[in-house]
Amino acid sequence: MTKRKRTKYQIIGLISLSLIIAAATYGFAEVNTFGTAGLLGADYGVLSDYQVSRISYTLDEADPTTFVAVSFQLDGQPGSVNAGISETRTSHVIWADSCESTGSNWICAFDSSIDVLAADWLHVQ
């Protein structure tokens, strides 16, 4: 049995293919932008006139099954934003008590902790 030596072009091709696959995987993992229709027909999503991305919830330190704030990015620059969460698309919305921005980044805080399981829909107005 003989061992075949790989040419430098084969090695460059393998490295290039690996980099392309890694970049595509990173790109798909980084995309965290939601439209207004929900996620692939699932029973959760975002209702907004803006393109909402990079959604992150701040968990309550005393009880990590609840959260106290939500942060996100918007594609536009509105003067003010109001954000809320709901269990279903049409159920009662619990609105944040205050929302502050830094450029296109918004942080909306709730006065009381909200159950994580109640946050299936994010409403941004």
**53's tokens:** 């991305």
Percentage of the chain modeled with pLDDT above 90:
34
CA distance 110 to 84: 9
**What value does the mean pLDDT take over residues 33-62?**
73
- Total-model pTM: 0.65
Close Cβ partners of 104 (under 8 Å, ≥ 6 residues apart): 73, 74, 75, 76, 77
Distance set, CA 70 to CA 9, 58, 62, 125 (Å)? 49, 6, 17, 14
Q: Residue 80 has what pLDDT?
A: 86
The residue whose two tokens read 């942060």 is 71
Element (H, E) at 83: strand 83-86
Q: Residue 43 has what pLDDT?
A: 60
Every domain of the chain and the residues it spans: 35-124
pLDDT(38) > 50: no
pLDDT band at 83 (very low <50, low <70, confident <90, very high): very high
**1's tokens:** 């049995």
CA distance 55 to 69: 11
